[in-house]
A and B are shown apart, each in its own frame.
Chain A
């Protein structure tokens, strides 16, 4: 089959690779209908996350049709149109049983690679680094999905492929970020980042009862989507002297009740902090640029909630003093997609949520490297590039 492969730093190519096979009894093989780019892919494309190998098939946000199933798969049938969360959950360990699916104990065959950095291992993920299991990704004609009965969610009639596609990662990640905020009536939530995850976090904050949502970014077209598709207020951080001052003024001097970081380790920023991060990252002295996260910590009102869904590796210059002295609650995780998928599908069916506006560009699989280029450089108003591999 054809697949998009990582051939080195900033080097993606469409290659011919072997077809995936049923390996374990709970596997299915999916014919991929749609897959999409994710900002977290840029971290290994740019070389900030180790344990990629030349020739790895990438991509972790996808939906498709089941074409083959293993002997122990009971609920999912060949022919089902399904969406699959990016993190693989076994459904039977303590973490899956407690709806903490991205912490699954049993789906990362290479967890020992994570333990030196994290102290424990996480679940496996498709098309990401070998530390996250090294499973072949979904920017391919076919993909193997383990534990299909727990990880495949049937897409109801009337829900389009594009609507379902983003329920794989962008929507559950954003929704979980808002869910962490424990939103009370009348509250204000600020969201750093107006990419796929950030926009979905803003939408979810409204769905979960926020009175006001403020989106922060620098790209006019993304800020426009936040205003027009989500109904958020927006701040362009390049057009104001101080994001912190603006947030204070918008909230009567208190600061937002909850702040969501939907940016992660490759944040852009302005000022001294950003210059410090850039210099250190360029010299490979640290992996993360943390401007968005630092700003979110400083902006949050006393006793508020900081929700981190942006991806980080190892960040220094972390303002723990602000968290401690302001009594912030920090909540964070990779997405527990399996927990949220049923209610997200319900929101879509009821017409309360339509994430398909994220799909600004479409490409065939052969043109996927172009799609990543456009997505990475945010050219032509690209929010998400969607691939149609078959």
Chain B
């Protein structure tokens, strides 16, 4: 399910300014896009070119202004490349992997990319609205993290009990395309810098909506980072898919299936 590529810095750009990395994130549309006419493709191409230029400028400048410019570029790129396939998906046919990349002069860390898709009954707009509901996110991520709203477009994530300490971070929404895509990114110091997006696209016939969830965990070097990675290492492939399954069950059937508590001849008469 997972492989390691020994190409330091090859697939994702250099570490330092977070805005730069964010802006240069490649947008992926792993499944085939909607067929478009050539008239539709032209503005799309322009958009992609403009987005790429802004993004490059943003990256060069670095820091604050660069972040804003790169963000804008990312947004345009989002519109521009929607029919393309994600490079590593096209090449390898896998969507969960760890990428090794250079940090500093000689330290390498693993970047964990988790991406999974699921098809859910409902319109993209309705599912998008449901995802944005603060309580939904907490329920959906419940197998992995406690997510609480800590302000407009801001969430606090807490992964409890990682080797005696909680992993915590604040995440802010950095990109919104209602009914289509929502992107967030951790802010401030955390042992486990990360970002993620969720995308909603109409599925064929009466299938509803194809929903894709992507997490990118980018731990720094050092002991804490390693421990954080170890935590994810046990369940990385399951993490994104489980979240999607929980979201699907919640919106389709009104509940998340569980057997907790479940009568059993084990400790206390229940199994949890």
Contact = CB atoms under 8 A, between A and B. Distances in A.
A90 B259 CA distance: 15
Contact of B264 (A23, A53, A92, A109): A53
Nearest to A27: B255
Interface SS majority for chain A: loop
A5 B264 contact: yes
Contacts of B263: 1, 3, 17-20, 57, 136, 140
Nearest to B268: A18
Contact of A133 (B206, B245, B259): B259
B238 A107 contact: no
Contacts of B254: 25-26, 72, 92
Contacts of A134: 259, 262, 271
Given A7-B265, A94-B119, A136-B264, A105 B258 contact: no
Nearest to A150: B253
Given A26-B254, A106-B249, A107-B257, A93 B121 contact: yes
A55 B121 contact: no
A21 interface: yes
Interface in B219-272: 238, 241-242, 245, 248-249, 252-266, 268-271
Interface residues of A, number: 44
A21 B269 CA distance: 12
A112 B262 contact: no
B261 A18 contact: yes
Contacts of A364: none
B207 A112 contact: no
Contact of A92 (B253, B261, B268): B253
B252 A92 contact: yes
Contacts of B241: 112
Contacts of B265: 3, 5, 7, 13, 15-17, 54-57
A168 interface: no
Given A25-B255, A72-B254, A108-B257, A92 B121 contact: yes
B208 interface: yes
Given A18-B269, A146-B257, A93 B252 contact: yes
Contacts of B252: 90, 92-93, 105-106
A54 B266 contact: yes
A15 B270 CA distance: 12
Contact of A136 (B206, B245, B262): B262
Contact of A97 (B119, B121, B245, B256): B121
A57 B259 CA distance: 12
A57 B242 contact: no
Contact of B262 (A15, A94, A108, A135): A135
Contacts of B248: 93, 105-106
Interface in B103-122: 119, 121
26 contacts: A1-B263, A15-B265, A16-B269, A18-B263, A18-B264, A20-B263, A23-B261, A26-B254, A26-B255, A54-B266, A55-B264, A55-B265, A56-B271, A72-B254, A92-B253, A92-B254, A97-B206, A105-B249, A106-B248, A107-B253, A109-B256, A109-B259, A110-B259, A112-B242, A135-B262, A146-B255
Interface of A: 1, 3, 5, 7, 13, 15-21, 23-26, 53-57, 72, 90-94, 97, 105-112, 124, 133-136, 140, 146-147
